[in-house]
């Protein structure tokens, strides 16, 4: 099929998915695209506000923080933008129990007991086993996206190290197991212990609990290489924050995003151009396009567009996490000096409690504002009300010995869109694939693979590679 490089393309959303979609389109020679971003900033949930601390302006992270050597698509955006990740702060951490006391779950020498030693040896053995089965039994598990997984196939960009993100496909009936909730998947494979490792960068980072999330999502984000990089703290961070990647990339684009411009209506009459109504400071206007790339939540899209019955049905099945975070300040010299993972609070029973606090700047010691995080929903449990969650997070920080003086920035994000294990198994992703391109509309963003920077940028690459 010959490509029409002049066609007019609308991209909804100026987060990592939208900015990288524009970059990949440009690399293919498309110049006639427009990105609409409703906020006055680029980056979406990769948001890095600046605060003046100790007379100096520093970046903080209220959204995305880190990447790893497996962040191939993000690296392509970095290269395009001229941004590097070598100068970011370290990711040191310590662990606490629910009473705030320091614990040493992974150090056999601290609070030594034979039970602990054997537990750690078992964990190590199961980690090794998981690496082996993922590479062999579940070959193909780490390509981006979930197309075909429920049918025992893989089809997407390859996530193997040191490649150039090529599209690969193949069959592997074992992949069907990845529709199981992650806890059941671990049980099936005799590697239950590894959840103790995965839970840190998974549940405490707001991505849900292991009894509700299909293993396919967990392993998309925390493939074994990324998980091991996390354990060894070989992580990428950015001095000016993750947002700086997308801001710099946006500046390099031929058509930088139009900020403060919200898409409020989409009409796709058959045989005609797509009509996109946007609202900015001058009011509403309609613009016409040949194609549409949606990087915003699809359940929102269904409400503002002339969604088909199939789109409505599919998008109504999307769930998301309610992840709360705020920047906490402390009295002089009274804050943490290192990030803390409150392990006991990562269980469903402790829903709404603080699970992590992130201390970003080592040199600021106990005077560094920290970001505190909690999840307040779980499939099958009642949501913890927002105000109650904030109250519990404040209490947890006090228990750790760091009473919060002020909350500087507080947010709850639409986080980690996904479908249930049942809908995953029933082939939700294959149904979605069938409607890709209908009405000249293409769906990207977090739901396609996973709600992190890498998977969203890679999903944009996947879309552009396959359909443009
Ligand atoms: C607390 C937190 C911690 C995180 N930690 C990490 C991490 O360490 N590593 C990592 O890789 N990822 C992390 N993430 C996830 C990462 O930030 C997101 O997955 C990524 O930003 C998703 O990019 P996106 O473009 O798909 O969506 P978003 O970032 O949500 O961007 C969507 C954009 O669309 C805009 N928009 C929405 N509706 C409209 C409309 N109608 N019209 C126009 N514009 C619209 C929004 O304003 C937004 O800018 C974290 C996120 C949070 C919140």
Our answer on whether the CB atom of 88 is closer than 6 Å to any ligand 1 atom is: no
**Residue 57 belongs to a domain:** no
- Whether 162 has a pLDDT exceeding 70, the answer reads no
Pocket probe mutation, ligand 1, options 46, 266, 322, max atoms within 8 Å of Cβ: 46
Distance CA 440, CA 271 (A): 10
- Burial (CB count <10 Å: 0-12, 13-18, 19+), residue 290: middle
**Residue 208 belongs to a domain:** yes
Write down which residue in 181, 199, 231 finishes a domain. 231
- Whether 1 has a pLDDT exceeding 60, the answer reads no
**Residue 424 belongs to a domain:** yes
Predicted confidence at residue 164, as pLDDT, reads 73
| Residue 263 sits in the same domain as residue 183 | no
First to last CA, the chain: 10
pLDDT class of 163 with cuts at 50, 70, 90: low
- Whether 369 has a pLDDT exceeding 90, the answer reads yes
Task: Tell which residue, 135, 138, 144, has the closest CA to residue 167.
Answer: 144
**Residue 364 belongs to a domain:** no
- Whether 180 has a pLDDT exceeding 90, the answer reads yes
- Expressed in angstroms and rounded, the spacing between residue 109 Cα and the centre of ligand 1 is 40
What would the two tokens of residue 84 be?
């590097």
Write down which residue in 198, 231, 264 finishes a domain. 231
Q: 21 in helix, strand or coil?
A: helix
Predicted confidence at residue 60, as pLDDT, reads 98
| Residue 202 sits in the same domain as residue 128 | yes
What would the two tokens of residue 149 be?
């997984």
Pocket probe mutation, ligand 1, options 36, 63, 356, max atoms within 8 Å of Cβ: 63
Write down which residue in 184, 212, 231 finishes a domain. 231
| Residue 198 sits in the same domain as residue 115 | yes
236, 88 Cβ separation under 8 angstroms: yes
pTM exceeding 0.85: yes
Provide the domain limits for residue 457.
9-45+242-318+420-467
If one counts the domains in the chain, the total is 2
């Amino acid at each position: 099929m010959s490509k029409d490089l002049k066609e007019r393309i609308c991209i909804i959303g100026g987060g990592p998915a939208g900015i990288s979609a524009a970059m990949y389109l440009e690399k293919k020679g498309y110049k006639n695209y427009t990105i609409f971003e409703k906020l006055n900033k680029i980056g979406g949930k990769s948001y890095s506000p600046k605060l003046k601390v100790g007379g100096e302006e520093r970046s903080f992270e209220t959204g995305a923080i880190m990447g790893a050597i497996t962040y191939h698509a993000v690296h392509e955006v970095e290269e395009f933008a001229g941004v590097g990740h070598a100068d970011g702060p370290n990711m040191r951490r310590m662990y606490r129990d629910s009473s705030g006391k320091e614990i040493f779950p992974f150090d056999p020498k601290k609070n030594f007991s034979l039970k602990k030693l054997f537990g750690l040896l078992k964990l190590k053995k199961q980690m090794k086993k998981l690496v082996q089965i993922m590479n062999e039994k579940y070959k193909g598990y780490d390509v981006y996206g979930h197309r075909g997984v429920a049918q025992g196939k893989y089809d997407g960009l390859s996530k193997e190290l040191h490649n150039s993100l090529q599209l690969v496909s193949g069959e592997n009936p074992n992949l069907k197991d990845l529709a199981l909730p992650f806890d059941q998947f671990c049980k099936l494979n005799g590697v239950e212990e590894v959840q103790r490792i995965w839970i840190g960068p998974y549940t405490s980072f707001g991505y849900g609990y292991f009894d509700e999330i299909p293993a396919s999502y967990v392993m998309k984000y925390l493939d074994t290489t990324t998980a091991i990089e996390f354990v060894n703290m070989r992580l990428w961070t950015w001095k000016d924050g993750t947002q700086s990647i997308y801001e710099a990339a946006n500046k390099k684009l031929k058509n930088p995003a139009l900020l403060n411009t919200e898409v409020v209506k989409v009409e796709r009459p058959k045989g005609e151009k797509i009509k996109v109504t946007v609202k900015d400071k001058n009011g509403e206007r309609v613009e016409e396009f040949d194609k549409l790339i949606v990087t915003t939540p699809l359940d929102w899209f269904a409400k503002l567009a002339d969604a088909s019955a199939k789109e409505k049905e599919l998008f109504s099945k999307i769930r998301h996490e309610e992840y709360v975070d705020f920047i906490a300040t402390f009295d002089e010299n009274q804050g943490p000096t290192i990030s803390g993972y409150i392990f006991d609070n990562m269980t469903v029973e402790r829903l709404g409690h603080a699970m992590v606090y992130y201390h970003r700047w080592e040199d600021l010691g106990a005077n560094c504002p920290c970001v505190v995080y909690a999840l307040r929903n779980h499939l099958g449990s009642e949501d913890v009300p927002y105000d109650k969650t904030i109250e519990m997070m404040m209490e947890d920080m006090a228990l750790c010995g760091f009473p919060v003086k002020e909350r500087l920035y507080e947010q709850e994000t639409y986080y980690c869109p996904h479908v249930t294990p049942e809908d995953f198994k029933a082939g939700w992703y294959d149904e979605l694939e069938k409607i890709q391109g209908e009405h000249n509309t293409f769906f990207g963003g977090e739901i396609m693979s996973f709600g992190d920077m890498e998977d969203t940028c890679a999903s944009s690459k996947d879309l552009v590679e396959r359909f443009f």
